[in-house]
A and B are shown apart, each in its own frame.
Chain A
Amino acid sequence: MINKHKNGWARAGRIAKRTLAVAELAMSKLFLLVIGALSLPALAAYDVDIPPPATAIASEIYNLHYYILIVCVVIFVAVFGAMFYSIFKFRKSQGAKPDVNFHESTLIEIIWTVIPFIILIAMAIPATSTILAMKDSSNPDLTIKVVGYQWGWQYEYQQDGVSFYSSLATPWAQVGQPGVPATEARGPNYLLEVDNPMVVPVGKKVRLLITSNDVLHGWYVPALGVNQYGIPGFIKDSWFKVEKAGTYKGQCSQICGKLHGFMPITVVAKSPADYDAWVKEAKTKFAIPTADSPAVAPVAVATLVDEPGKKWTLDELKKAGESIYSANCAACHQADGKGNPAMKAKALDGSPIVTGPKAGQIAILLKGRPNTQMGGFDRLSDVELAAVATYSRNSWGNKVGDTVQPADIKSARK
């Protein structure tokens, strides 16, 4: 079948045969491995499809993809049918003689230019109507501002006066480190779970105003048919209308630095009644602080709500600081404050800055350290920064014994 090359290298030929035999063995091993992997029932996810759409736009996208895919498969079969027919039919070893005059045909060439063009038009028509529908963000029932941060999201419901951060909730103990295996078992929502999900009402048109605080991010939830960059300094919009109550997962889609892979998105769609109940709760939990906002009694975890002029106790700040630390700091500085030399993250336990004068620590918390991975955290509120500073000054081996008050942060911001 194949034009054997007569070069008389007996030795090379033997090596070739042996190599082929070894390769065959390796291939069969590999095949078994692949089959073995394919049949692991406990893990078998093997998703091969776009997630089930939850909005009308996502359904259109889903169907559009199948339509294009099927057209492509038909073309594929036709074109490569011709190729394989040639491969089997026109072999020299079968005595095929070349027809050297068959090398031009204006008619054939016109046909195979025009037919693809017509197919493309048939593809473009439904795609165009979907694009126009996706771009129509008019008359929303609800607008949420989305701000990307290195590395998390902020959701702001301006009409309700609600604003909160949404960060990765998977403990770092499940991720592990190079050379240090994970110490906790990974849960089903590993890397896709957040502390505070975006909550939206079912059946309402939700318009997103998407931007970023630092670098490019991508707000990407496939089931909602939304994938939109957050661009610092610019606001871009997108929208969705969820049809069924449920939880929809996504991730940041645009590389944004070290923890790009660790900024998931969760959208919880609730019935309008449940949504209203959530808004009511959020108004106390996640109220946007304003100069004249009335003091709100803090609830259990929400020691994060500032009460102007209040002097906080060390225990209150330390308790609140722990959760802020694990959401914002522990990825690099580690839960035990020992830092991570491989990431060049300094130890906070015993650090002269953390245990030194407050002003030095506050300056770094607000502005970060230039040309390192340590960015500024001025996006956190005064009370949040006060809490995390107090926590780090009085945890692990650090026993400074003082507190950092929101007022300290406020004056340092100026």
Chain B
Amino acid sequence: MSATTHPADHAADHHDHKPYGLSRWLFTTNHKDIGTMYLLFGLLMAIVGGFLSLGIRAELFMPGLQILQPETFNSFMTLHGLIMVFGAVMPVFVGFANWLIPMQIGAADMAFPRMNNWSFWLLPPAAILLAGSFFVEGGAIQSGWTLYPPLFTQSGISGDMTILAVHILGASSIMGSINIVTTVLNLRAPGMTLMKLPLFVWTWLITAYLLIAVMPVLAGAVTMLLTDRHFGTSFFNAAGGGDPTMFMHIFWFFGHPEVYIIILPAFGIVSQIIPAFSRKPLFGYASMVYATSSIAILSFIVWGHHMFTVGMPAAGQLFFMYATMLIAVPTGVKVFNWIATMWRGSLTFETPMLWALGFLFMFTMGGFTGLVLAITPVDITLHNSYYVVAHFHYTMVAGASFAIFGGVYFWWPKWTGKMYNESFGKLHFWWTTIGFNLTFFPQHFLGLAGMPRRIPDYALQFAEWNMISSIGAFFLAAGQIFFMITLWLSYKSGAPAKDRQWEGADSLEWTHLPSPVPYHTFETVPVLK
């Protein structure tokens, strides 16, 4: 891509003053500041969620109850899920979107900067409600992150805190998504046609539509829970003419697109990294866009595969099985395209590329176990077993989180103007990869052998794999402390980064903007040919 403006955005130099202190962050409308806050918030929540997961793994290290009471275990397990999904992974991807979308499409900022500020500042109250629910009478909710009634209805005040938190998080996501859709559709630089958008922007555009479609569905579901609890309705209570199964349908109508909300931006990040280190354009750009769209559309008609054991009719099971299997086709296209991008390329293996390859390898393993689980009869024997836990951690951790780590290393030089230590980055990658597989691979075996998920204690035949899994979890967590040290050292004393740190990276933030990027960018709109 060529442009008529000079690579270093000179317009920015004169307007680079910014407010200082707390008010800078509280009142900021700058997409970079807001992106940074989203990323740091996600990191903080990941630490909280990670702490909870270590509590779970510590309890499961040996048979018997040693650390947590069963109800506390259930609270840990539930809040680990809620916090990691809504508090860590989603905000981090919104952070990436804030930082990158304006720069990649040649816009000065997001379309609605004040709403952007508000959608971030809704998050801390929601996080406080969730984390604070541990300290109210009865403790945090114990129903699992799916909030299934009637168990959820039995919760104490923490149930209402969770409902309110989900409402706030949903409002934040909807505002963020409207902002992203409007920005991408209206603020592209002249010449930046839709089919020239970097794939990260495409995946986020589609993700934003998914969020707008399903977040209100979740809000409706939790509102019905609220009225069932306090206002005498019986949406999910058979005694009053309701049906607990209806909650599952509504929840998973949200929940399955949610899975793709989490993974599509990861696809986008990987689609930026692999071509950059292959020094070759992304293979099958158009088919990548179509595949992403197909996945998004299919995600609305597969929710029933979370419910094969509720006793749906054979026709229902067959429909949801076929629809679910169909998702393997566009997902396969994406994997093939990434590999074809590397084919006949000129590969180097800096840290971001290692994460992208780790993603490709292990996310695909999660995809294969997903295919196994799509087969209804096999799912029935594995449903709610540890096999499912292993499956979705391969997609959420080795999928989403590996892409996040790759993205952080990839754009860190652009964001901060500092390089990180490559040896540290690579060590972090291998450390995480080994820790991750040690933790989650044995869980496939536990699930096949019949260990149910969400139990604080287990039969003796499950002891060995659980012990290995717990060792792996602590090893994995230690690696993330090392990650934070690596970034901190770089932030404090890293070598200066080049404007185009990765020679194969060709989106606007690399070709048109210096490192670190100035506070204001593209105040003069670049014109692309």
Contact = CB atoms under 8 A, between A and B. Distances in A.
Given A96-B345, A175-B64, A178-B69, A258 B309 contact: no
B166 interface: no
Contacts of A190: 63, 459-460
A292 interface: no
A128 B243 CA distance: 28
Grouping DSSP codes into helix (H, G, I), strand (E, B) and loop, the A interface class, with mixed when no group exceeds half, is mixed
A38 B471 CA distance: 13
Interface residues of A, number: 128
A23 B377 contact: no
A299 interface: no
B142 A47 contact: no
Interface string B147-174: 0111100101000000000000000000
Contacts of A175: 64-65, 457
Contacts of A5: 350, 419, 421-422
B217 to A, nearest CB: 20
Contacts of B383: 218, 220, 227, 253
B459 A103 contact: no
A261 B59 CA distance: 13
A34 B74 CA distance: 28
Contacts of A7: 419, 421, 494-495
A82 to B, nearest CB: 5
Contact of B151 (A182, A257, A342): A257
B372 A229 contact: no
A287 interface: no
A127 interface: yes
Interface in A31-65: 33-34, 37-38, 40, 43-51, 57-58, 60-61, 64-65
Given A2-B348, A37-B468, A68-B378, A102 B343 contact: yes
Given A216-B148, A253-B384, A259-B70, A227 B423 contact: no
Nearest to B419: A7
Contact of B243 (A51, A178, A191, A234): A234
Interface string A378-405: 0000000000000000000000000000
B348 A86 contact: no
Interface stretch (B41-49, B259-267, B332-340, B393-401): B332-340
B376 A131 contact: yes
B422 to A, nearest CB: 4
Given A83-B360, A191-B459, A258 B70 contact: yes
Contacts of B66: 176, 178, 181
B380 interface: yes
Interface in A68-121: 68-69, 72, 75-76, 79-80, 82-83, 86-87, 90-93, 96-100, 102-105, 108-109, 112-113, 116-117, 120
A256 B71 CA distance: 11
Interface stretch (B10-18, B188-196, B275-283): B275-283
Interface string B62-87: 01111111110010000000000000
A76 B372 CA distance: 13
B483 interface: no
Given A30-B475, A68-B378, A47 B65 contact: no
Interface stretch (B105-113, B120-128, B322-330): B322-330
A236 B380 CA distance: 14
A96 B279 CA distance: 10
Interface string B298-337: 0000000000011101100110011001101100110110
Interface string B443-460: 001101110101111111
Contacts of B462: 45, 47
Interface stretch (A11-19, A272-280, A300-308, A406-414): A11-19
A128 B346 CA distance: 45
Nearest to B445: A48
Nearest to A219: B309
Contacts of B427: 16, 19-20, 23
Nearest to A344: B138
Contacts of B287: 109
B309 A229 contact: yes
A87 to B, nearest CB: 7
A353 interface: no
B463 interface: yes
A49 B380 contact: no
B344 interface: yes
Contact of A87 (B314, B347, B457): B347
A108 B340 contact: yes
For the complex of A and B, list the 6 residue pairs with the smallest distance between their C-beta atoms, beginning with the closest. A233-B238, A236-B311, A261-B455, A47-B449, A7-B495, A16-B423
Given A102-B280, A130-B377, 16 more contacts: A5-B421, A37-B468, A45-B462, A45-B464, A46-B464, A47-B462, A48-B445, A75-B368, A90-B347, A102-B343, A103-B282, A120-B329, A220-B452, A231-B245, A233-B239, A236-B310
Interface of B: 63-71, 74, 138, 142-144, 148-151, 154, 156, 237-239, 243-245, 278-287, 309-311, 313-314, 317-318, 321-322, 325-326, 328-329, 332-333, 335-336, 339-350, 357, 360-361, 364-365, 368, 371-372, 375-378, 380-381, 383-385, 419, 421-424, 426-427, 431, 434, 438, 445-446, 448-450, 452, 454-465, 467-468, 471, 475, 482, 489, 493-495
Interface of A: 1-5, 7-9, 12-13, 16-17, 19-20, 23, 27, 30, 33-34, 37-38, 40, 43-51, 57-58, 60-61, 64-65, 68-69, 72, 75-76, 79-80, 82-83, 86-87, 90-93, 96-100, 102-105, 108-109, 112-113, 116-117, 120, 123-124, 127-128, 130-132, 134-135, 174-178, 181-182, 186, 188-192, 210, 214-216, 218, 220, 222, 225-229, 231-234, 236-238, 249-262, 342-343, 371-373
18 contacts: A7-B495, A30-B471, A34-B438, A44-B464, A47-B448, A69-B372, A83-B357, A87-B342, A90-B342, A120-B328, A191-B457, A220-B450, A225-B381, A234-B243, A238-B311, A253-B383, A260-B70, A261-B458
